[in-house]
Chain A
Amino acid sequence: MASSRDILEKLAMKHRALQETLVKNKHADDVQALVPSAKVNVGKLQPTMKAAESSDEDPGETLKRTLRAQRQRRKELLLSKSSVQESHNNEETEEVSTIKRYSPNDKLADKTEESSVISIKPPSGSYGSATPQPSSSVFLDTFVTQHLQEKLRAARSKGEKLQQLEASVQSPSRLQQLRDRDTVTRFDTRQVDPVGAGRHDDPPVLHNRIKFREAARRVRDLPTAEESYNFFTFNFEPDRPNERLSRKRQIRRKSAEEARDEEEGKAAEVEEDAGGEDDQDETVNQSDEAHLVQNADDLFVIDHSPQDFLVVKKAEYVSYHTRIQQESELFTPSFRTVPASVKLPENMKPRFLEEEGLYVGKRPAISLTNENILENRLLKMDEGRKWFGDDGRIITLPDPVKESSTRPPLADMEEDLHPALQTVYRRPLKSMYGSSDPTGDYQIDVNVSGLIFSHHPLFSREHVLAARLAHLFDQYLTRRQSNLSGHLTDKLNGLRNALRNVVKVHGDQDLPQALQRRIFEYSLEVRNTRHLRDMEQEKDRTLLKNIIKVWKEIKALREFQTFTNTPYKLYLRRENVDLAADEHMYEEEILTEALEIEAEHEEDYQKKLAEYKKQQEEWKRWRKKQKAKKKKKKKKKRGQTQDDTDEEDQDQEGSESEGPFEEGPPKPEPPERPDFDSIEQWVREKASRIRRKPGEVILTPELSASGSITPSELCPRAEVARREDVSKRSLFIKVLYNDKEVSRTGSCSLRSDFRVQFTQLFHLKILNCPQSMNLQVFEQIGSSSSLLAQVFVPVPEPSVVTGSAPVETFEFSSNQRVMFDHEGVGSDVPLSFEPDGSNKVILLTSGKLACCVSWGIGEDDVPRAPPVSQQLGAAHSGLGHLDAVTYIGASGLYDMKKISEWATQSRLDPNDPNNASIMQLLKVASSGEVTAPDYFRLEHLQEEFNFATDEEMEKSKRFRLLRLRHQGVPEFRNYKFVPAFSSETSEEVFKEYDRRLRDEEIINKEEHLDSHRALVARYLQKIRESVINRFIQAKHHYLLSDLVVEEEIPSIGGAGSGILGLNLFKLAEPKRPLKPQRKERKKVTAQNLSDGDVRLLINIIRAHNIPVRKPHSNKPGQSSQSAIQGSEWFISQVQVKPFVEVSFQRTVLQTTTADGPNPSWNEELQLPFSAPNGDYSTTGLQSVKDEVFINIFDEVVHEAAASNKERRPSVHTQTEKHWLGSVKIPFSTIYSQSRIDGAFRVNTPAVLLGYSKEHGSFAAYDHFRKPNEGTFIRLFITMEPQLVPGEAIREKIKEMTFESQEDERLLQASETFERAAALRYPDRPCITTVIDLNGKTVFITRYIRPLKPPQEFLDAFPNNPQEATTLVARYVSLIPSLPDELSFCGPCDLWSTCDQFLTLLAGDEEEHAVLLCNYFLFLGKKAWLIMGTAIPEGPTAYVLTHEPSGFFIWNPSSGQCFERDDTFCPLQTIGCLVSSDNVWFNIQEKASPVNMSFDVTNTSWWKPFFSRSFSHPGLSSVQPEELVYFHTDRAAASDLQDRIEKILKEKVMEWRPRHPTRWNRYCNSILKQFLPKLELSRGQDVAKAHRHELQNLLGDYRIAGFPLHMPFSEIRPIIEAVYSTGVHNVQVSNVEFALAVYVHPYPSYVLSVWVYLASLTRP
């Protein structure tokens, strides 16, 4: 048992050992630790070869040794018995080899590491304790075998020595053998291994063994490499063995020597080499021996059964424990710090080169752990110490990582860096949503140099005069500099000379034409120039005079006030002239001038005379003609008869049209001959006025500021006060850029000469486009400052840059009124210099500001101005690019010259890539050579490698579908499954889309039956598209709630909603409460839904006042009696048996049948809902156009008695359903309100044949007081699950700021008003601003304005205003209703004005209400718009009117009117009232109209928008002044009528596919006659008479039918309505139908459609 286990154990160990060889690095510590035990083992075996060594072993050790040997022996025996021969051999080899290997190590261990030997004892002890396991019998047995074994081994070693020679020669082959065996062994052991692994129980032994194996392995490995090398490289000479031997000997000797100094392990290694050689030799022997054994075994085994060839093996599995051990056997270097002594040679102190002053580079950063591990590892390596330097650390190169960039700077390349690679320094950008990059940084330099006051309130009188003088003198200087009069005089003289020369040269000869013209031109020029010169001279003279005058005034003033304030002094330099010469010149001048003027006048005269003559001629001719005409006419008149009058008329008309022409030439008057005497006189006068008199001295004024100012001490008190005031003041200038203050100058005190020097330069770095530059002059007195004036500075052109821009002066002034009690003259104060106070002047503060605004220049001398192409607002739009086509014309584009001209003109930027092609073209053109196409192809070799063409791509239907879906084209939006292959995509998919594209321009008349409506529909579509685009932006604007869905944490303490509170309530509440409350459900976001998830829950509770069947007794005529005979008994008992049928999206459900006119069903119907295209997004749901039809039917059962031919008493009954009325609720309403609860008025037809209503329907609103008329049905409608309505987007749109033309203040006020309202009464709608069709925000009151209804309504009942009112309301209600949500595909409420509404003929409740309200206002009623909530519309608009009899509420879309206290009024809440001048928000306790007061003047009930604090700013209305109504063509209406009838008939037949549909033409015609009456009476009061009539005519038939009435918008709703009544569903075979349609036209294409539908059954 034990022995077999041992075998396994050993095999396992062997296997492990072999595996160990894979690991090159051994565990150093372990090796050291195990050395003694190894030595012990070895020592026991050694006596066979080296007896001397074992002599010094103690007895205990020897015992162990014997045990060990015994075990080995036993093992060998067992192995020899077993068939696993190979492993045995190997084992043997290794055993022996280890002996050799460790012999030198033993010595080493003995001598140097005494301590370690001691410390290692325990392992050996444990080994000892483990060994007694074998039983004693085995022990004895093995003892004997051990001896035998030893003997054998001794003999073997002898043999080995003999065979050594041979072995060396054979070594390669043997090596080969060995290797082969090795692998085999490994394979074997691995197979057996798992068995032993589990039972392994003496690790120390294992360790020892492993070490031995390792050693053996190493020993064997080394020579292998060497020998193989030798084998391949050397020629083996016969003398080699000797050599080898001698080498071995040498090594032996060497090892002996080296063992003595015991410093390095080298010798040991070499020794190992030698040992290895020996080992191999030994193994060879052994293997030989093994062969024998094996053969013996084989022989022995032959008798065994064949099963022996099969080996049953266990599943291969390395236990966890083993694996742990395996891992622990790996060499893991310790991470502890290695003591320096180990790393350094013995007795050497670490030497630090750095301390000795030598340069040592910085060591690279290595973590200490890593370094330790590395050191530990290196130390275990052979020659490991060579890695360590003198300082005991690992030798390293200095740290290679450089601090700075080592790349060469490439300075030479910096300049021609590719433009794309150039970098721009961008400052960090700050913007809301990370928009586009800024366009660049620009800089405007503002240089404020100073300002001079031309008037200032603190001016004294003298200052005023001085300023005036200075101003005049400035003028004088500028004039003198330009010297216009001098220039003009010279020019004049030159011209005169030229003229004279021309005349002189040619004399009196006949002048050629050209010359004449030249002379004429000259004289004209002379004339003009003279005129100009005169003017200039006059100006000069007056200026001079003024200067002198002002100076005189100053002098007088100074004398008068006894002090001087201004340093001005005027010198007049006199220049004497030669009197005679002067006079001569003067005279000559006058003469020439007089002559010239004479000549001119003469010429004029001649011209005029010629003209006169011509005119006279003409006039005369005309006279003659007239006379002739008159004669002719007279003749005609006389000779012509009556029928020629037309012609005459024409003639007269013709003469009339000719009239103005003929009357044109008045009788000309002859021109006057000029008076030549007066001319000279005039010239002289003028000369004396404007020119210096001959001999007069020339005066040159010179203004100097050299005068002295009287010091303050000498001045009177008032003046001193003024001066003090001046010194107190200082000025500064604010620089405003785009109305924002960007900087300001320091304040400079005002000097006594009223000049301020700032000389400050501001650099404005700008990002925004400059719109305005503004300098504000501020005056500072003490600490308070006031704005004096503003100077608007134009934004400089981009070419104006700092340095080149001149300083400009800008004048400024202010109209501030300032008055002083001292000498200061003030501003805006009348001031007179005359002693009598006359001739007052009012002086305003004014002055000149000198500044310079220019674009800054960057460091690189590049102006930091925006490029020219960037438009700087409207002012600079002229600077834009010249458009090439406009410049050169389209044809010129082929003309190279013109293009180049244009290019230079428009200053094309040659670097702009946009212009690259043009530039290239120009270059080619200018160089004049057409070179080979050196074009650049962008995608090189693209074509060659394409595997499909563009056409193919385009053709692919799949791709097209995908792209269209991605683009969100309505037809493909939310298209779910795109086929995987193009071939699977059918053309059908695109059909609709293609058709729509094709039809975009073609108006489809068929669908709309009316061209006007088709046009409107198109227009609506256009608006819709533009609105959608506008709202796309809003959709992308996400709110937090869109992205983060957070469940609200229920509060613990809360009464209702809190957990605790709720639970407590739950405990207390009854299981079945008497009045159950509807609970708020969790809302579901729509995107997770799919078809079938959503259902529509309709709870039909009860109905009131359903029409009852008419007892037929009152009907006259026998026939009718007999007709209803069968069911008479029934009728007498049952009034009506109504049931409700709900149809939605073609799903029809119905309730049970109830009894009586006030039935109670209380049933819940569930209708499935599927969104179009499966799009359950908010927008998708909002665009669902389906409606819920709730129809009330009467279930009529008759007996089909007639069919009963037999006598059998079977009764056949037929069930018919008769339509009584319907309620339509659009899905969008349900969706937006999420639940609808209330009583709805059922839309009942005006006439119900066979039924009677207690009261007539709603019409003349006098009758409305009667309570309880009309049929009502109580419903509760909701969706399961509750979908989140598009509230979020609503909010978003609110957040979106629409552009508006309203005042900013008004918008703000309205926002605060709405917010306050929403905060206090969240359920009351409050609207102050609305969005119009252009997407602009408009204040609501602008929509209210009295507007005139069509005249025919007013004329209809001139005496009955109430009738007119109802007519108007009816008219408004006839305009089709179309919710904005549907039409504009999003929850945006757009308000159109009344004219737009009438053009579009479609609108929301608001539009109806506004129109109705406006009409009412025109009719002189007090009317308001009510913004409130109603059922079923939700938030809506109604109209409130105030009559003497009380308040009335009008439903604009149905035309109904309710009294205030009518409980059936659909209006539930009133949010606010709107009139044309104010909005009132309801702040009363109750919001339902019944409980409210409508006294809007009471501010505690109604909160007005415009109050005293914020008054009405006088908003003009957006409505037109007058509505234009088109007369609707009756022919078109009847045309439409026929078409509707035809379509409906077709449809009814289509709906009855299995039955023949017969039309009763007679009935048709009767009904047709009847419909116009209904329209006229507005569907009431005719019912009775009509019924009688009908019964008389069609007595034999049982009739069920009714007229339907609706406004006309499209054909589809009419068909829907007809379908929903279910008249066609009659299955009786002999049924006939009657159908009549009547279309009544109202102005502006408002059409009222009546459809009379009846089914007739012959009994």
Chain B
Amino acid sequence: MAELHIIGQIIGASGFPQKSLFCKWEVHTGGAWRLLSGLKEGQTQVDSPHSGEMAYWSHPIDLHYATKGLQGWPKLHLQVWHQDSFGRYQLYGYGYCHVPSSPGHHRISCVTWRPLGSWQEQLARIFVGGGPQLRNPDLIYSGADRYRLHTEAMGTVNLELGVIIRHFDKHGVES
């Protein structure tokens, strides 16, 4: 019966090879969690910074969860996409991070990666865009043999999350 507020924003992304990025995000929780209010997934706008390398989204996140257990603490899944000059978009990175479990203000930088694919695919990516994507992007966040993937490090997504927890102490969870 404890409650968790996650209030914050996806500030932006940096370190990606191209500008003009947007981000799809989703908060995953275990079965014990119940969303009381707020949107648990969304997509930011495309930001193509004219100066500087960082793409700013300042996308708000405001969630209120109630939970009956600790398992499945919310984690944030992110997908960064790039919109090219033709208006097409392609995957630039997967990333995920846990929502901090200590109350207070947190600055999180979530690193992202993308699958590399075969050399043909890499070549195709350079010339015609697109790129390999995971068939099922959900499983990757828990997949044990992710090490088999050939991946490429992409940039970092910066988040700013304020976490408020309530009544966890009643159930013996100390924060």
Contact = CB atoms under 8 A, between A and B. Distances in A.
Interface stretch (A422-430, A561-569, A845-853, A1415-1423): A422-430
Interface stretch (A588-596, A960-968, A1163-1171): A960-968
B1 A946 contact: no
A769 to B, nearest CB: 21
B84 interface: yes
A430 to B, nearest CB: 4
Interface in B154-175: 171-173
A421 interface: yes
A405 B150 contact: yes
B148 A962 contact: no
A953 interface: yes
Interface stretch (A500-508, A936-944, A1620-1628): A936-944
Contacts of A953: 1, 34, 66, 68
Interface in B12-57: 22, 30-32, 34-38, 43
B32 A421 contact: no
A357 interface: no
A1267 to B, nearest CB: 61
Interface of A: 405, 407, 410, 413, 417-430, 434, 938-939, 941-942, 945-950, 952-953, 956, 959, 962-963, 965-966
Nearest to A941: B71
Given A425-B124, A426-B90, A939-B72, A420 B32 contact: no
B90 A428 contact: yes
B68 A417 contact: no
Interface string B129-140: 111111110111
A-B interface, 9 closest residue pairs, ranked by CB to CB distance from nearest: A420-B139, A428-B88, A966-B37, A947-B171, A423-B132, A428-B129, A427-B130, A948-B68, A962-B36
A421 B148 contact: yes
B80 interface: no
Interface in B99-113: none
7 contacts: A422-B134, A423-B132, A424-B135, A947-B171, A947-B173, A962-B37, A966-B38
A430 B171 contact: no
Contact of A949 (B68, B90, B128): B68
A410 B69 contact: no
B90 A417 contact: no
A419 B22 CA distance: 27
Interface string B82-96: 001011111100000
A956 B2 CA distance: 11
B30 A939 contact: yes
Nearest to A956: B1
Contacts of B66: 953, 956, 959
A948 B132 CA distance: 43
Nearest to B43: A434
B60 interface: no
B143 A421 contact: yes
A420 B89 contact: no
A419 B133 CA distance: 13
Contacts of B35: 966
Nearest to B130: A427
Nearest to A946: B69
B36 A950 contact: no
A420 B136 contact: yes
Contact of A946 (B32, B64, B115, B133): B32
Contacts of A407: 150
B26 to A, nearest CB: 14
Given A417-B145, A418-B148, 12 more contacts: A419-B135, A420-B143, A421-B145, A423-B132, A423-B133, A423-B134, A424-B132, A424-B133, A947-B1, A947-B2, A952-B1, A963-B36
A670 B159 CA distance: 101
Contacts of A417: 145, 148
A959 B69 CA distance: 16
Given A421-B148, A941-B71, A959-B36, A948 B64 contact: no
A963 B37 contact: yes
A844 to B, nearest CB: 47
B117 A425 contact: yes
Contacts of A421: 134, 139-140, 143, 145-146, 148-149
Contacts of B149: 421, 423
B58 to A, nearest CB: 13
B116 to A, nearest CB: 8
Q: Which of B66, B68, B140 has the most CB of A within 10 A?
A: B68
A421 B131 CA distance: 15
A1107 to B, nearest CB: 57
A413 B131 contact: no
B134 A420 contact: yes
Contacts of B135: 419-420, 422-424
B132 A425 contact: yes
Contacts of B143: 418, 420-421
A434 B79 CA distance: 13
Contact of A423 (B1, B115, B171): B115
Contacts of B139: 418, 420-421
A428 B30 contact: no
Nearest to A420: B139
Contacts of A962: 36-37, 64
A945 B70 contact: yes
A413 B130 CA distance: 25
Contact of B88 (A413, A424, A429, A946): A429
Contacts of A420: 134-136, 138-140, 143
A422 B135 CA distance: 6
A422 B134 CA distance: 6
B1 A945 contact: no
A426 B130 CA distance: 5
A194 B29 CA distance: 60
A939 B30 CA distance: 8
A1423 to B, nearest CB: 52
Contacts of B22: 434
A1460 B31 CA distance: 71
Nearest to A429: B89
Most chain B CB neighbours (cut-off 10 Å) among A419, A422, A425, A962 = A425
B69 A942 contact: yes
B64 to A, nearest CB: 7
A1392 to B, nearest CB: 36
Contacts of A959: 34, 36, 66
Given A938-B31, A948-B1, A962-B64, A426 B89 contact: no
Contacts of B124: 425
Contacts of A945: 69-71
B115 to A, nearest CB: 4
A939 B131 CA distance: 34
Contacts of A426: 90-91, 130-133
Contact of A428 (B2, B43, B71, B84): B84
Nearest to A414: B148
A419 to B, nearest CB: 7
A427 B84 CA distance: 12
Nearest to B22: A434
Nearest to B115: A423
A426 B129 CA distance: 9
Contact of A430 (B2, B64, B88, B128): B88
A949 B171 CA distance: 12
Contacts of B130: 425-428
A418 B135 CA distance: 11
A948 B33 CA distance: 11
A966 B2 CA distance: 18
A946 B2 CA distance: 11
A1223 B130 CA distance: 66
B90 A947 contact: no
Contacts of B150: 405, 407
Contact of B68 (A422, A430, A947): A947
Contacts of B36: 959, 962-963, 966
A418 B145 contact: yes
A426 B134 CA distance: 9
Contacts of B129: 427-428
